[in-house]
Amino acid sequence: MTPDYQAILQTIYAEVRPLLSQGRVASYIPQLSTIDPQQFGMAIYCLDGTTYAIGDAEKKFSLQSITKLFALALAFSREGDSIWARVGREPSGNPFNSLVQIEYEKGKPRNPFINAGALVISDILSSRFVQSDIAVLQFARMISGQANVDFDPAVAESERATAHRNYAIAHLMKDFGNLHNPVDLVIDSYCRQCSITMTCTELAQAGSFLAQHGTIPWNDTSILDPSSAKRLNALMLTCGTYDAAGDFAYRVGLPAKSGVGGGILALVPGELAVAVWSPGLDATGNSLAGTYALERFTTLTARSIF
Ligand code: DON
């Protein structure tokens, strides 16, 4: 039986209110520190096209690391398994912007969702497309069905001007020979890619192809074959929420990808995509209220992959 999703969203909206003041907005990207942390939105896109939304679900927010999922899907669809020669598929157990493993694992990042891995994916896309950030933007427009999806230039510039850690990671990987394009070019493209904004409604729609085994549900465009879509879902489950991936799987039980803008995209394969946004983060860089909202979502709907 289909749950009453709108009623469940209303319940969750009431339950998360006390949490909205507990998280902290990302401040290492100065432009993101100006966001009001009290906001909360959530949207569901069912594969039959039905949608549900609550709260600030129509407000644009900075996708940040959620774009790593789009970049990976694009790179995997074009380059196939060859990408795994340059980036691994294991949880890192370290913060998303950590440098330590790069040194002792000789320039090969643990997975494509930590910053190091996403920089390698940007590098792979930079070798294939004239501008990798534009390629990811066009891909985001296609999978969301929204031609108005765009970069936020102020966020991109704010991140680029303070990207010392990502420069350090990129230079270290360049030294190990795992970055083929100039560091400045890769960082510029990566920062613009991370600045893409969407609403929860748009994000849930953008993720729906991954819930439908690689095919966009509303126009039957095949983005990935079902086996590749299964593999990306698996990576989201094991690596999509960084060093909190184990706890997130325990609490929520869905493949998901988070970003420091406070968004999380989660998938119920074969059924729906759900996007949540609340800018206050926990210590691991995942939305505090967003994670709780998804935990309640899978509990109240009895929908999880387990
Ligand atoms: O590179 C960074 O640090 C950001 N552009 C993205 C980090 C991020 O979203 C991690 N998410 N939880």
285 lines ligand 1 (CB under 6 A): yes
Given a contact cutoff of 8 angstroms between Cβ atoms, the answer to whether 263 and 276 are in contact is yes
- Over the stretch 202-238, which tens digit does the pLDDT of each residue have? 999 999 999 999 999 999 999 999 999 999 999 999 9
Q: What are phi and psi for residue 41, nearest 5 degrees? A: -140, 155
pLDDT band at 242 (very low <50, low <70, confident <90, very high): confident
Given a contact cutoff of 8 angstroms between Cβ atoms, the answer to whether 191 and 163 are in contact is yes
Give the pLDDT confidence score for residue 3 in this predicted structure.
93
End-to-end, the C-alpha distance of the chain in Å comes to: 18
Name the strand (E) or helix (H) holding 289.
helix 288-301
Average pLDDT of the residues of the chain? 97
Q: What per-residue string of b and e applies to 258-294 under the rule 16 or more CB within 10 Å gives b?
A: bbbbbbbbbbbbebbbbbbbbbbbbebbbbbbbbbbb
Give the pLDDT confidence score for residue 248 in this predicted structure.
97
pLDDT of 48 strictly over 90:
yes
- Over the stretch 163-183, which tens digit does the pLDDT of each residue have? 999 999 999 999 999 999 999
Q: Where in the sequence numbering do the catalytic residues fall?
A: 65, 68, 190, 242, 260
Domains of the chain: 5-64+196-301 (3.40.710.10), 66-193 (3.40.710.10)
ipTM confidence score: 0.97
- Cα 140 to Cα 145: distance, rounded to the nearest angstrom: 8
- Say how many Å lie between the CA of residue 118 and the centre of ligand 1: 10
pLDDT band at 138 (very low <50, low <70, confident <90, very high): very high
- Cα 270 to Cα 119: distance, rounded to the nearest angstrom: 31
- Cα 108 to Cα 232: distance, rounded to the nearest angstrom: 19
- Say how many Å lie between the CA of residue 192 and the centre of ligand 1: 12
pLDDT of 10 strictly over 90:
yes
Give the pLDDT confidence score for residue 113 in this predicted structure.
97
169 lines ligand 1 (CB under 6 A): no
